[in-house]
Amino acid sequence: MVAGPYPLGSLLDARERTIDRLSDAFARNELDLEQYEHLIDLAFACRTHEELVRVLRDLAPAEAMVAAPMSDTAVDAAPPTAWRPPLALAVFGNVERGLSALPSRSRAVAVFGNLELDLRHAALDRGLTELRVRAVFGNVQLTVPPNLAVQCEGIGVFGNFGSMARLPVDPAAEPVLRITGTAVFGNVELRTRPRRR
């Protein structure tokens, strides 16, 4: 395995996948709280893919595969619909953001922090737009307009993941926002507010 720094986007994505796997292992009782917190700290301190692989070395072999390095070519050749680094990330802090556009597939992450995303003025393409949300010892609050079709279903592990089901009149002709994810010792909350003037 090659040691050394990798392209920023590739490393951020590998770190996020590593944190996802650690959270899943914690939810399955493969890690206790102290181990989980320690490994999360190590993952955020990693600066190479090799270090991220070492963080996962004691988990099942399938888990350790997530941090394998990607070549520059693989990163550049990723299709436009592939998952990208989080569009919003709150780590040990608070982030408030209003969005004017939302990609067809995106992620929002809060780890020991609070994230507030205002989607009331975000432009969405017709059809399905997917937003994956993860709250780990943190909170995520999403604000959507009343006329947007929303399908929200997630998993709460010692936490709460809000739900919402507003079906579109014509799924092919109007935007539909699908929100999925997990809340581990955290909360994901959805609220509806009218658009600001």
Which residue would you say has higher pLDDT here, 66 or 164?
Answer: 164
Q: Which residue has the higher pLDDT, 108 or 83?
A: 108
Average pLDDT over residues 120-148: 91
Of 104, 90, 103, 192, give the one whose Cα is nearest residue 142. 192
Task: Give the range among 25-34, 75-84, 120-129 with minimum mean pLDDT.
Answer: 75-84
The pLDDT tens digits of the residues spanning 45-90 come to: 888 888 888 888 867 544 444 444 433 333 333 333 344 567 888 8
Please indicate whether residue 143 or residue 64 has the higher confidence score (pLDDT): 143
Burial (Cβ within 10 Å: 0-12, 13-18, ≥19) of residue 54: middle
**pTM, entire model:** 0.59
Extract the tokens encoding 188. Answer: 């994901």
User: Stretch 140-157: mean pLDDT, rounded?
Assistant: 90
The per-residue b/e assignment along 130-145, b for 16 or more CB within 10 angstroms, e otherwise, is bbbbbbbbbbbbbebb
